[in-house]
Chains A and B, each alone.
Chain A
Amino acid sequence: MTEALMEIRDLAVQFRAHRTVARAVDGVSLEWRRGEILGVVGESGCGKSTLARAMLGLLEPAAGSVAVDGQAVNGKASLGELRRRVQMIFQDPYQTLNPRQRVRTIVAEPLVVQGVPRGEHPERVRRALEDVGLEPERFGERYPHQLSGGQRQRVAIAAALVLEPEGLICDEPVSMLDASVRAQILAVLVELRRVRDLALIFITHDLSLAWSLCDRIAVMYLGRVVEQGMATDVIERPQHPYTQALVTAIPVPTAGGGGERELLKGELPDATDVPGGCRFHPRCPRRFEPCDRVDPPLLAAGGSDQLAACLLHDPTLGAAQLSTGTSRSDAG
């Protein structure tokens, strides 16, 4: 048994339309450790949801590999195995539940798909509902329209848990919920991690939430991970100018807010037209000479387990690559 539950290497996902290619995920390597909460943060369109879908084989990758427990996921059988061990929940609990099925049927569905003997279903459904704080007798017979937003998200979590997975990928699971309901759902997830040692990937654009919840954080920009490390390091001492800009933009919940600050100009570029060199350089307040030509790899920076894809952390790299004429942006 390895420490990593899932490991992805150089994963790329592309969408083609007309004559353009959108590089939604553009070479991501990431390790998701057992029992850890890994945050994936970034602006809409940065590729975080696409990455999650590709990890579960819901999208066909253009390149790269996905491994579970050190075993490469390849072909239908291993995909089925992957989805038994790793499940996913989505942002909108209003759209993910079948409106014509009762809660107990919805929660039992994965058992049917995975061919678990019928006799086991009622007991496992009951346990899954209890784990998310819904009384099985009261809620099992209801339909989704008879539930509140928070209750629906609990049902979605129960359906994901019924197979007793080792990992749960949560795509913006609380962004549609209010503060008090949000806190309840987060408490459920954290409790599951504590009791079942469930590993979580938490995809969010909410940096303060990621900071308070996650063990490690990966920051994505335009299809790449540009920074990763311990949550406290990445958010409290960000080492990539993009992460620094994101952290500065967080509204500060104290009177008067964060005061004066330098805001990032412009918007996330289109994934069909990724800038050459460092993909962040057109918006970067700290860019220097080779940034428009050299595509920086993840470099050691700041904290012990912290990496940032920025030439500031190895200025010589830019010069070296330019002199040998092997700029990575040409290779890509």
Chain B
Amino acid sequence: MSAPLLEVSELRVDHGGRPIVDGVDFSLERGEALGLAGESGCGKTTTALALMKLLPPTLRQQGTITLRPPKQDEPINIGRRTEAGMQVVRWRHISLVFQGAMNSLDPVQRVDAQMAEAITLHAARGGADAVRGRIAELLTTVGLMPGLGRRYPHQLSGGQRQRVMIALALACSPSVVIADEPTTALDVVMQAQVLELLERLRSELGLALMLISHDLGVLAETCDRIAVMYAGRIVEIGPVRSVFDSPQHPYTKRLLASLPVIGGERALAEPIPGGPPDPGDMPEGCRFRPRCPYAAEKCLADPALREVAAGQAAACHFAPWATWPEVEAATRSPVAS
């Protein structure tokens, strides 16, 4: 088997010595969809921005990011690239659909003008006619009438704007698209439509997709593999089916338990006590330890992310978990979130 399309190893991002992303490793195969799950502040978006080298200057990134685009023999070492060097990589090989599409479009420019800018800037080929043709093609690809290109963003609905954002990400036919919470601001129906679109694009264009979401339901529907982040690290990664059917990290277990499954038992999830740690004040050893019902002495040592089942890795000393012991009802002292 050939080397993966995208390989990330020992990715670290820190902000004045406080680790936001703290040693993340993963790879993405051609045409694969990888889900990145976790709560706000766990480092999901920072990881995405680091892959694009779009972090603000106050954040420092380290680690190797290797991209092997199918159109090219030489692998691209994103970690080493300068800003000028990144400009030929971004959008052409790897692109990002930002969180909050509502605010990512220029309100005073027509949609087609914004798309033309992206196309001419990154893949200048042919004249105005070719660009116009490409815009119509892209809008059609994402399920919009080409005529919508003449509109201004405020004349589009949230779902249509999100489709325009996806069209922009596809403008230069990249091999990897990162979508950061692409459906969070959308209603269920619109969300389902956008997810269906992403899935169709993946199969039709052979895109590799990295989907970032706090919504495990969204990831379960769209992804092949899923990585769960907590406090700047991946605590579990594996095939969607294995992670959902038999999670191997207590944090994943609790996240899954917090999702209501319609038709199942109608009960509210037992809240996870406390909140995620402050990046400047990480607990010793396992970072989930202070909130973990199973924490023990050995959790004071930092657990490595290691394979515990076929293709599934977890950063927990107790993994693999054959069964999950009953947890005594958490002491119901008022916990400030």
* Known A180-B272, A212-B268, A258-B221: A133·B336 in contact at CB below 8 Å: yes
Interface presence of A208 (CB below 8 A):
yes
Interface presence of B125 (CB below 8 A):
no
Interface string of B306-337 (1 = CB under 8 A from A): 00000000000000000000000000001111
Interface centre among B191, B196, B268, B337 (most CB of A within 10 A): B337
Total residues of chain A contacting the partner, CB 8 A = 52
User: A133 and B335: CB pair below 8 A?
Assistant: yes
Please provide the chain A residues from 41 to 56 with a CB less than 8 Å away from any CB of chain B in the complex: 43-44
Q: How far is the CA of A44 from the CA of B40 in the complex (A)?
A: 23
Partner of B220, one of A44, A212, A252, A264: A252
User: A180 and B254: CB pair below 8 A?
Assistant: yes
User: A179 and B217: CB pair below 8 A?
Assistant: no
User: A257 and B271: CB pair below 8 A?
Assistant: no
User: B214 and A263: CB pair below 8 A?
Assistant: no
User: A150 and B188: CB pair below 8 A?
Assistant: no
A139 surroundings in chain B (CB, below 8 A): 336
Partner of A254, one of B190, B220, B335: B220
Interface centre among B188, B244, B254, B267 (most CB of A within 10 A): B188
Query: What is the CB-to-nearest-CB distance from A203 to chain B, in angstroms, rounded to a whole number?
Result: 13
Q: How far is the CA of A258 from the CA of B218 in the complex (A)?
A: 11
User: B272 and A250: CB pair below 8 A?
Assistant: no
Interface presence of B263 (CB below 8 A):
yes
User: B192 and A178: CB pair below 8 A?
Assistant: no
* Known A43-B187, A255-B220: A154·B337 in contact at CB below 8 Å: yes
Please provide the chain A residues from 191 to 228 with a CB less than 8 Å away from any CB of chain B in the complex: 205, 207-209, 211-213
Partner of A249, one of B191, B220, B258, B337: B191
User: A252 and B260: CB pair below 8 A?
Assistant: no
Q: How far is the CA of A258 from the CA of B188 in the complex (A)?
A: 14
Q: How far is the CA of A213 from the CA of B262 in the complex (A)?
A: 12
Q: Which of A19-27, A120-128, A181-189, A324-332 sits within the interface?
A: A181-189
Query: What is the CB-to-nearest-CB distance from A116 to chain B, in angstroms, rounded to a whole number?
Result: 25
User: B261 and A254: CB pair below 8 A?
Assistant: yes
B222 surroundings in chain A (CB, below 8 A): 257
Interface presence of B193 (CB below 8 A):
yes
User: B337 and A148: CB pair below 8 A?
Assistant: yes
Interface presence of B266 (CB below 8 A):
yes
Interface presence of B216 (CB below 8 A):
yes
* Known A133-B334, A183-B269, A249-B188: A254·B193 in contact at CB below 8 Å: no
Tier of interface size on chain B: 35 or more
User: B262 and A235: CB pair below 8 A?
Assistant: yes
Partner of B187, one of A44, A154, A181: A44
B192 surroundings in chain A (CB, below 8 A): 248-249, 251, 261, 263
Please provide the chain B residues from 239 to 277 with a CB less than 8 Å away from any CB of chain A in the complex: 239-245, 254-256, 258-263, 266-272, 275
B201 surroundings in chain A (CB, below 8 A): none
A245 surroundings in chain B (CB, below 8 A): 189
Interface presence of B215 (CB below 8 A):
yes
Query: What is the CB-to-nearest-CB distance from B259 to chain A, in angstroms, rounded to a whole number?
Result: 4
User: B191 and A251: CB pair below 8 A?
Assistant: yes
Interface presence of B103 (CB below 8 A):
no
Query: What is the CB-to-nearest-CB distance from B159 to chain A, in angstroms, rounded to a whole number?
Result: 6
Interface presence of B118 (CB below 8 A):
no
Q: How far is the CA of A134 from the CA of B336 in the complex (A)?
A: 6
User: B336 and A253: CB pair below 8 A?
Assistant: no
B256 surroundings in chain A (CB, below 8 A): 253
Q: How far is the CA of A55 from the CA of B255 in the complex (A)?
A: 36
Interface presence of A169 (CB below 8 A):
no
Interface presence of B7 (CB below 8 A):
no
User: A180 and B244: CB pair below 8 A?
Assistant: no
Interface presence of B82 (CB below 8 A):
no
User: A213 and B268: CB pair below 8 A?
Assistant: yes
Interface presence of B195 (CB below 8 A):
yes
A300 surroundings in chain B (CB, below 8 A): none
Q: How far is the CA of A213 from the CA of B260 in the complex (A)?
A: 10
Task: Determine the residue in chain A with the shortest Cβ distance to B41.
Answer: A178
Q: How far is the CA of A236 from the CA of B260 in the complex (A)?
A: 13
Q: Give 3 closest A-B pairs by Cβ, nearest first.
A: A150-B337, A257-B221, A251-B217
List 12 other contacts, CB 8 Å, given A181-B337, A261-B192. A133-B334, A139-B336, A148-B275, A148-B337, A150-B275, A154-B337, A180-B337, A187-B271, A208-B262, A246-B189, A255-B243, A267-B159
Could you list 5 A-B pairs, sorted by A, with CB under 8 Å?
Answer: A180-B258, A180-B337, A251-B191, A253-B256, A258-B221
